[in-house]
Structure 1
Amino acid sequence: MNSSQSRLIEINSFYSHTLKNERTIYVYLPPSYQSDSRKRYPVLYMQDGQHVFFKDRKGESWDVHLTVDELTAQGRIREIIVVAVSHVEDARIAEYMHANPDGHNLFNTVNQGELYETFLVREVKPFIDENYRTLTEKEHTALMGSSAGGLVSYNIGFRQPETFGLIGALCPFFVSVDPATMQDRWLSAVYTGKKPLKIWMDVGDAEGFTVMEKHVRQVADTLMEAGYKPGVDFMYYYAVGSGHSQKDWAARVHAPLLYFFGEIGNPVRVDLHGPGKIGLQGPSCALNPVVHYDSGFMMTDLDADYEVTDPAVVQVTAEGRLIPKQEGSAGIRYKGRGLDAALELTVVPYLSDAVNVTMFVEVPAWTPETEMLYAGIELPMIGERLYGGTFRVPRDISFEFRISRGLGKHETDAHGREIPYRKFTAREGLELSYKVDRWVDAPPETEAKEAANG
């Protein structure tokens, strides 16, 4: 590889005196690192490092090196160093969870978020600063992760704002929802004071119970109440058609990179998303005006102007909250950042918060016995090779998933190849029936039998 190309360095068995374990750390060095020995670089630290640049049987890749290479070559961001800190598999949840505000022990583990924070601040960052040419100041240092990795990044950001000035929390796992009771169990404190941080926070609209937009939006609202200004030091993105996987985070990681290390450019288009129908009684709803920029950046505008053709029917706040007033129909027009878009909305007397969804999954004969499958919803065994039932789930919630028996044990096609993610949106009376052709961990003897049977 010549000096004009970026490089990936693998640091094996990096030992933590704080956590008493070891892990692999991967370091991305930008193209000019070898040729310009006087230059120093901003640094992005990322959680779940084994999936930042690579994929394995337990997850896809963010391909961050490819995205950074492309944005750098286009001149859209500064050259940066990326430090991908792998998790220790059996310790991931424990290390990514700070002390639970309610004292709940939801995952049968001792939360070690504070120790992991110390590990990053006192062991990893000093090592990187000593061995690589970094810009060490907080305004040049970002911390980013997804899911539980997004949660720990949020917590560390507010606890260590003098170390990390740029925080990316993608699909942060703020709440564990009990699917049986729909009880919300908060996993984190929600910070109400303003710190000197630039924050990117997002969530997909097809994550099901894993991460729900209402919880992430609640934290976003708290940030704005604390004084963060949307579009300035706080960017929020409600990603349409996005689930909870590395492929989804890879598809939008360019946006926080532009926000932290480059220029977001100029707005060129807005897509106004929202419900077609809301109830005078029923779940609260909001609009999602997604503004697209000429750089490829995108975000949800939480400080917009709206015009309503009949304010007696519905009103809209600057944050996009819909306030139904009486039955009827009205047109809503978004006006902001030199752009506009419109949609039609009907207000009805009542919409239930939840709907009934029936789902059945048939599995291959050799499937190891397991009490539960995951298909967006946890499905109990109800018969030989059959899982499912009827479930009460929030209205209009979307799920994107592969059917699985657990982490890294998802379905494939009959030839063992990856299949597209399945997706559904909860509507009253929806009935779904799926068949698993094969599991990714099919043993070799099973493959031989399948081949013999033609």
Structure 2
Amino acid sequence: MKASRLIEIKHFHSAILNNDRDMFVYLPPSYEGQAEKRYPVLYMHDGQHVFFQDRKGESWDVHLTVDRLVAEGKMREIIVVAVSHVEDARIAEYMHANPGGHNVFDTTNQGELYEQFLLQEVKPYIDREYRTLPDKANTALMGSSAGGLVSYNIGFRHPDVFGKIGALCPFFVSVDSATMEERWLSEVYTGKGARKIWMDVGDSEGFTVMEKHVRHVAEVLVQSGYKPGDDFMYFLAVGSGHSQTDWAARVHAPLLYFFGDIGTPVRIELHGPDAIGLEGPRGTLNPVVHYDSGFMMTDLDARYEVSDPDIVAVSGDGSLLPKKKGSATVTYIGHQLTASLDIAVVPHISDTVTVQMYVKVPENTPPTEQLYAGIELPPIREGLFGGTFEVPRNVSFVFRISRGLGKHETDRQGREIPYRTFTADDGLLLHYEVENWVDTEAERLLG
């Protein structure tokens, strides 16, 4: 059997956006040998990271995942179209007009124009040049972060074109890490349509994308008539941050959901807080159902039994309702699987905690207004950033220290270092030291 192919389309021009960008097209193994066969199409944003990595990010390696799933007989062959972003225009193009009129990023939102670009320039070109199945049932749109947000917006605005929407870590809300001000960046749609939706978020993304915002949109979808586990799949990824590596680790799940067979449930993991307060944040459970295909999802329509219902109650979506002080065991029951978790109810748990963080940087650090280490850190003095911060209790962070996109820390030899991680707890004191930066030499050469 022939191998799949990747085709690069250089400098694809948009008259609508008045700019050029590269696109990459994945063609399945049978494409060359079966001249009459047509294929479903998955359109993806941030195309330069769909199949490859560069100095500003890792790769999703979607071609490798599709090849594997097809070879295992778990999904249909598809065409994947990876539409690169234009670096200076990415945020503007991925943002539609938002309900509050927030101009969070000091740019003019061009989401409506980018939408026209996809619908009037990209899709007609792909349908003309390749053997596609162009109907909505065979056309999917997927992206992450701001790319997840624009997938959600375009998908709901054009249900006649896209029958499948993949929104990984969608950037619904901008949170100011200093003031904790929340600014919604999108309309939240309530219409029920004939479409499949995959929506997920990591539990360790810090302020970049917060689970409570994505969960709110998920709840609106359910209230609008989408059925969890059927035409809507939600997944809260445990220990997952906000990076190409994190999305690559689970992209097989929406691929199976959209184009394959998710298989049979075989295992359940029940995650949740070990304590909740009669006053303060109450929390939710995260029952992750694993399937024999490798698919996984969070069950938002579960059944629970509680050893002492007078202490705590649990709704089908996992929301916890404390009733009185004490301890109880909560048991998930679903898909012929069970899992249990002990939960204590205490009088009070505060919403926020105090965290101190300090980062020492090397002498070759270019002038920098702030660092990002999960939290935005201001300078204290030369070579030192940090301070004291009030953050939501138990919010988790997976990150590399950076000075901006593509300007993250490395070791002294310029090699990648593992991601750092912490979970906010009261009185937490963190000290980090940066050894080197990924592109300091390049910056010196340019400047």
Structure 1: 4+ residue segments shifted above 3 A: 444-447
RMSD: 1.1
How far is 1:446 from its partner? 8.9
SS at 2:113's partner residue? Answer: helix
Out of 128, 131, 137, which is 1:130 matched to?
128
Structure 1 unaligned runs (5+)? Answer: 448-454
Number of the residue aligned with 1:212: 210
Number of the residue aligned with 2:391: 393
Number of the residue aligned with 1:81: 79
| Contact 2:201–2:235 (8 Å) recurs in 1 | yes
SS at 1:349's partner residue? Answer: strand
How far is 1:369 from its partner? 1.5
Number of the residue aligned with 1:9: 7
Number of the residue aligned with 2:279: 281
Number of the residue aligned with 1:141: 139
Number of the residue aligned with 1:193: 191
| Contact 2:166–2:197 (8 Å) recurs in 1 | yes
What letter corresponds to residue 352 of structure 2 in structure 1? Answer: A
How far is 1:444 from its partner? 7.4
- CA displacement, residues 91-129 of structure 1 (integer Å, 9 cap, x when unaligned): 100100000111111111111111111110111000000
SS at 2:440's partner residue? Answer: coil
SS at 2:218's partner residue? Answer: helix
Number of the residue aligned with 2:201: 203
- CA displacement, residues 258-317 of structure 1 (integer Å, 9 cap, x when unaligned): 000000000000000000000011013100000000000000000000000011100000
CA 88–445 in structure 1, closer or farther in 2 if over 3 Å, else same: closer
| Contact 2:366–2:440 (8 Å) recurs in 1 | no
- CA displacement, residues 108-158 of structure 1 (integer Å, 9 cap, x when unaligned): 111111111111011100000000000011010000000000000000010
Out of 437, 440, 445, which is 1:439 matched to?
437
Distance 2:243 2:443 in 1: 30
Distance 1:254 1:303 in 2: 23
TM-score normalised by length of structure 1:
0.97
How far is 1:445 from its partner? 11
What letter corresponds to residue 297 of structure 2 in structure 1? Answer: M
How far is 1:354 from its partner? 0.4
| Contact 1:355–1:395 (8 Å) recurs in 2 | yes
Distance 2:215 2:98 in 1: 20
Out of 420, 423, 439, which is 2:418 matched to?
420
Whether 2:354 is the aligned partner of 1:345: answer no
Distance 1:224 1:284 in 2: 21
Distance 1:88 1:71 in 2: 31
Out of 251, 254, 257, which is 2:252 matched to?
254
Whether 2:370 is the aligned partner of 1:376: answer no
Out of 167, 178, 181, which is 1:180 matched to?
178
How far is 1:371 from its partner? 1.7
Number of the residue aligned with 1:118: 116
Distance 1:15 1:132 in 2: 18
Higher alpha-carbon deviation: 421-430 or 362-371: 362-371
Whether 2:239 is the aligned partner of 1:241: answer yes
Distance 1:192 1:80 in 2: 30
Alignment of 1:219-234 (within 5 A): 219-234=217-232
Identity %: 71
Number of the residue aligned with 1:53: 51
How far is 1:362 from its partner? 0.4
- CA displacement, residues 48-95 of structure 1 (integer Å, 9 cap, x when unaligned): 000000000111000000000000100100000000000011110010
What letter corresponds to residue 252 of structure 1 in structure 2? Answer: R
Distance 2:81 2:443 in 1: 41
Between the two proteins, the alignment pairs up a number of residues equal to 445
Distance 2:377 2:127 in 1: 48
| Contact 1:413–1:437 (8 Å) recurs in 2 | yes
Alignment of 1:88-107 (within 5 A): 88-107=86-105
- CA displacement, residues 187-215 of structure 1 (integer Å, 9 cap, x when unaligned): 00000111221000000000000000000
Distance 1:123 1:441 in 2: 35
Structure 2 unaligned runs (5+)? Answer: none
SS at 1:268's partner residue? Answer: strand
Whether 2:168 is the aligned partner of 1:150: answer no
Distance 1:434 1:180 in 2: 20
Number of the residue aligned with 1:27: 25
| Contact 2:140–2:162 (8 Å) recurs in 1 | yes
How far is 1:357 from its partner? 0.5
Number of the residue aligned with 2:358: 360
Distance 1:372 1:389 in 2: 12
Distance 1:204 1:426 in 2: 16
Distance 2:442 2:310 in 1: 66
CA 445–89 in structure 1, closer or farther in 2 if over 3 Å, else same: closer
